[in-house]
Every structure is written in structure tokens, then in C-alpha cells.
Structure 1
């Protein structure tokens, strides 16, 4: 991305910012840092000034642009619905071209392109989470042909805290009689971290490989427990089947009578993941799943649906500035505790890691579960 392309794609959009400030109370980074350059309004002003030649790309601009979570809360609170997230991601491409970016992103890109995952692990170990399910043979969920592909994602494949998500999801699908497979070592990173790093051009090989892997098993549906994978396939991949978030898929199983629930006498609140809610438009499906569980009481966060507060784990911020990411998570945890709920449920492996990890670090007694875990606990035999 160069300045000429940035001007073509962005200038008309960025000039629609009238500096009203309605975005400020919704931006977690601005609320933590309290400086204009950390706000959506400030980033838009910076972008416009660079396009108009009044500013040059520099390290201070790099810090501003790469501190954005990409959560989209600013757009939800903006009267002209300015797409600041898209503007910021284009800025990152320009900054990468200038060599002005967090160099840890080079290591991330290397891991993804060489190993197929964000963790620099042997990609053949992607399906090791199956060991959490007792009584099944090795590679039990890896089939040559299936109606449904379950695309697990890097975080749930390799991070122990999140591996209970695919274990729960696979258990639920097995009980529901779903003809599904996972891709195991043939699943590569979806590429979304490269978008956040300002390096989307490096995604091409990943997209080509994953598409061929899905086509190879003849699947008609691809199901995602990771909202970022879901968002990426919906927006960057060609259409090779029906793409469904886990909640949308579970609603279908419930409506078809393929899963039934035992009562769970608990009070829960639901956290909307940014890439599932604001960035993909899926709000009601997770709530339909929760409301289908008898005796469960759902209480909403003060900020919910399109106005939800990011957990702090978006936009590669945890990699770039973990302290800032943690302070955003602190705000989220405060909102959760104010509901009086017994636990917080979400539909995102990164949200689970960020919220649960921060609560543990701060020694806060908080139960955090993915929606797949709750469904697996409540499902009737």
C-alpha cells in the first residue's frame, strides 16, 4: 500500500469525520490513554494529514495506528458510520511499506508462513486437543470425506486454556450425529493476524491451501468457533460452502431437534466478540442458544451487542503492547462483575484467553466459559 492507493481508497471516507467526538467514550484505547492520538478521531485526523501532505509517516504515527484494537466500536457510535477500522488497517499497510511497524510482526509472519500457525509449533500437532476427550482413538475426528468441516483456528489448537473449546464442540457435534471432520495438520492459519499486522498480501498461500483442503473433503458447510477465522473466511476467502459461526450452527441443531438440554440453574452474562458481533453482524444466535438451556438466566452487560466493550485481545494489541491490552481487559472485567452474573460466556477463543488470563493475573474470582463449553455441559444424552 502506497500513499497514492491510500488516497484513492481512504480520502473520501476520512474527510467525512467531522470531529464530533461521539467515538471517544466508546474507544477502549482512548479511555485508557486519554490522548487524542489514541482516539478514532485522532487517527482519522492523522490519516487525512498524511494524505494531504501535512504530516509524514513517523514513529509517533506508528504508535498511534498500531495501538488500535480494530474492534469497530467507533463506527457503531459514529453518526456517518465512518469505517475507521478499515482506515487504520490500510494505514498499517502503508507503515509496513515504510518499515515503521512493530518488528515482532515479522516473527509472527514467519511462524505463520513457515509452520502454518501463530505459535511456531509443529502444525501436525493441531489436533492434539482430541486427547482431552476420553475413549476416542487417535485422529478420530479426521476423516477423508464429510458434510461439515470444523475449522478450529490457531488459538484453540495450540493454547491449553482454549483447547477445551474444540473438545467441547467436537463432543456436541458427535452427540448430535453431525457428519463432520477437522483438517488436522492440513488446517493452516486463516491469515487474519497478517491483516492486523498490515501484511494482508502474505495471505494468498494460506487462502489457497485452506480452500483446497476444504474442497478435498467435499464439505458443504464450514463451521468456526473462532470469530476471527469466521470473519476472515467471510470477507477474504472465495465461497466454497456455507460459512457458519458456532452459534449459528448450534441454533440450527436446536431447531432441528438434534440437541436437547438439561436444566442449568445459573445466571450468566454474554460478551459479544468484536469479530463476531460488530465486524460480522452475529448478535442474536448466541443468545438464542443460551435461552434454549432450561433454568439458565441471561443478564446483559450494560454495553452489549454493537456497543460492547472489546476484551483487549483484538488487533494484535496483546502482541504489540500487552500492558495496554491488559488495562482494556480490566475495564471489561469490571463491566462483567457489575452484572452479578455467576459467569461470563463468550463465543471467542481469544476473548476467553484474554479475560480469563487477566482475571487470573489479578487474582479475581471470575468464571469464563466459551459457549461450546456450556452447551457441552448442558446437552442431554
Structure 2
């Protein structure tokens, strides 16, 4: 390709000034040159041209600042600087003898155009708590990068083609922070530039911090002793922050009962959080609380209230957070176990399983956690247990005839 380009340049300048000698009307040769054209590569260099003149002659310095000429009685030497531009440069050298002039046509190949490729989107959004973004930069020329704000720190490694943006501080203010990243390569006459918009969201915009709160539990169906009691709100829970962007804690789980509600005051159940799709997972079969004095452990499971069986086979129930963060809708209960409920096992003999018989349990695909207005946490309730043997299943009843000891938190 380069040879073809040079041939085109030679053809162009040769067409402008063809022939190697000049004469007057009488046919006497005034000036003769070994070449009437000179083509330089982009890197510059020198070209020598022999001159045969009938008398004394001189060569004028070209108007183009990038080309110089020096000469003696029989030759001249052209010197060209490197061409920094991606455009062809042209000039001419004027040679004079007496009142006669002739020209040497000069051209120079262009520099290779500078390329710049920064991998990534046109904008980057940082988490409210900060973070780091690594960019890959490829260019055929030296490059630099800069950020116009101090909340975002930039470091570069041109040898490895890397630029790192770091935000170390959380944005606890009342507005989104913005900045511009500029990456440039080459020079003003032959260069390339890319700009990127940077921003850091406010903590108040961060989904992780918008999810926690106190929620009422509503359902299209509430089951009591295997009988559908209809739709309504018959429970509550609290979702709290835990390991940032990875887990929440589910606490203070409460189900209404025929007497007073049953409340797991010291419950702390880890809920894995999927930040990309904004949902939480509520694991089934996890230990909620331990009642040492009652020789009992309580678990959250999926129940078939009609035949008094339960399962943890689905692993977890998915809680999808609404766009306005006001509700969390539960999905994924096993087909034959459409009720979310509690069971107990004896600490001394885990093969003995009990079910609570006087507590309302939410059932079906319409189980929703609905955010409540901010309020003080309700006081813990005095709860006691009694049991009724029905076949192979022990049904427990939660009531308020006495206060239990502190519920131990599950780690």
C-alpha cells in the first residue's frame, strides 16, 4: 500500500513538472536537473539533485517551513522534516540562473493517522459507596488521560494500556456527582480524543439502601388449620442491612394467631441479594430461633397444610422488589407446598417435628411484603407453647399465658 501511494505521488509531481532541462527560445539549455521531482517519506530525510547550468545559479529557500535547501556549484540537497500530519505536504524549490527560473516539485507522504480505542460504554456510573473501574486503552501513539473532578481518582499505565478510575468515598450528599474523563493520543495535527461521562449515585438512590424497612405480610389466601381464611394482612417482618450488596437480614418475623401474634423477636435470617436483577432470596429450611427451655428449634419451610407435610426442596423463595421499592412479591413455592410457615424440631431429638396449629400462614403466589410507614419497633410479645398430638404430627399452639426466655439468635 505504501509503495502504491508513493508511485501516485511521483506521478502527480512528475505531471506538474515533466522533463529534466529548460531552454530558451533559441534552444540553448539554461538549466538541467538529474530529477525534477522529489518525494519524501513521512519520516523526512534528504534528497540530492545534480544541477547543470549555463552560468551561475541559485536556489531559493522554499516557503514551506518543513523543507530546506542547500547547494553548491553542481548540486543541491533538499532536507525535509518529519511530517506529523495525516495529510500529504507539497512544496517547490525555485532555481534561478540569470533571468531564467525553473522549479523542482516536492511532495511528502502523510504520517500514519493516530488511532485510539478505549474499550467501554460512553458513560460510567459508580455505586454510591464507591468502587473501581478498569479501562483498556489501545493507540498507535502516546496517550494521556485526565479527569476534571477530584471525587474520582485516575491512575494510568500506558505501557500496559490501562487506566483505572477509583472512587474511595461514599456519596452521602443530596445530589449525583458528575465528572468527565478525557483520553487523548498523538498531537494537535494528528491526534484522537475520546471523552466519557462519569457519575456517582447518591446513597438515597442506591437500591440496597432503599430496600430495608418494616413490611406487612399480605396474601390472597391465609390458611388456618388447613382452611382458607381469605385475603388480608396477617403478619409482618423487618428487613435490615447486613453485608453490603450481598445480604440482608430478615428479623422480627410475626404471624397472627387466634390469640396474640407469634413473633420471632430475635430472628436474624440472612437473605442473599441479587443486585443486578434486584431481588432477595428467602432460604427455606433455615433455623429461625432456638427455645432452650422448651427444647425446641423453629424453622421456616414450605408447608402443605392439608396433609400436614412440609418441604425445603425448592431451596429458596424469590422476593422480587418493585420499581418503587414499596413491595416485595414472593415467587417459587413448590407446587404442592404453596404455604409459607413454621415447623419445630426438638433439640434433644430432631426427628420429632411439630407444626403450629393456631397461626395464620400465607399461601399461594400472591404473597407480598408491603412496606409500612416508619414507626417504632413493637415490643416483644410474651409467648408460650402447648402441643396436641394428632397422628404422627405434633401441632403446637402459641399463646400468651407466660413469657419465654430470650430467643437465641441463629448465627
Higher strand share: 2
Higher helix share: 1
Q: Same fold (TM over 0.5)?
A: no
Which category of TM-score, normalised to the shorter sequence, fits these structures?
under 0.3
Q: TM-score, normalised by structure 1?
A: 0.21
If asked which structure has higher relative contact order (CA below 8 Å, sep 6+), I would say 1
Q: TM-score, normalised by structure 2?
A: 0.20
